[in-house]
Amino acid sequence: MTNTHQRLAKLSYFFGFERLIAPVLIKLIYWIGIVVILIAGATSLVNTVDGIGRMLLTLAALLFSLLIWRLFSELLILAFNIYERLVEIRDLLAAKGTPAATIQPALREGD
């Protein structure tokens, strides 16, 4: 294969949605969100002058926010990982020559 063919194959691979870029973007947005949450939490801690109870509550809210942000990001990435695994299974079945399963309707027309 020539260099031009390799480049075209890479473009075809990218534009044919064989490889998804959303998980990479989700990870980037995750880290940006972590920074934003930490800055907001630090600002809230500095601005809390009502006592130790309020500071502890702010710290707990900061930790809870980080946990929720992580869980949300993992759920998004999980959806894309499931898709990638299904594509791998499809490709393995195609390589073995096994026909893909057909989906049968739950109810027949007369039911």
What is the C-alpha separation between 23 and 43, in angstroms, rounded?
Answer: 30
34 belongs to a structural domain: yes
Q: Give the domain extent around 30.
A: 21-90
CB 31 within 8 A of CB 25: no
The pLDDT assigned to 48 comes to 83
What is the C-alpha separation between 111 and 106, in angstroms, rounded?
Answer: 10
51 belongs to a structural domain: yes
Full-model pTM: 0.69
What is the C-alpha separation between 50 and 88, in angstroms, rounded?
Answer: 56
13 belongs to a structural domain: no
The pLDDT tens digits of the residues spanning 47-88 come to 887 888 899 999 999 999 999 999 999 999 999 889 888 888
70 belongs to a structural domain: yes
Stated length of the chain: 111
Number of domains in the chain: 1
User: What sign results for the dihedral spanned by CA atoms 61, 47, 45, 51?
Assistant: negative
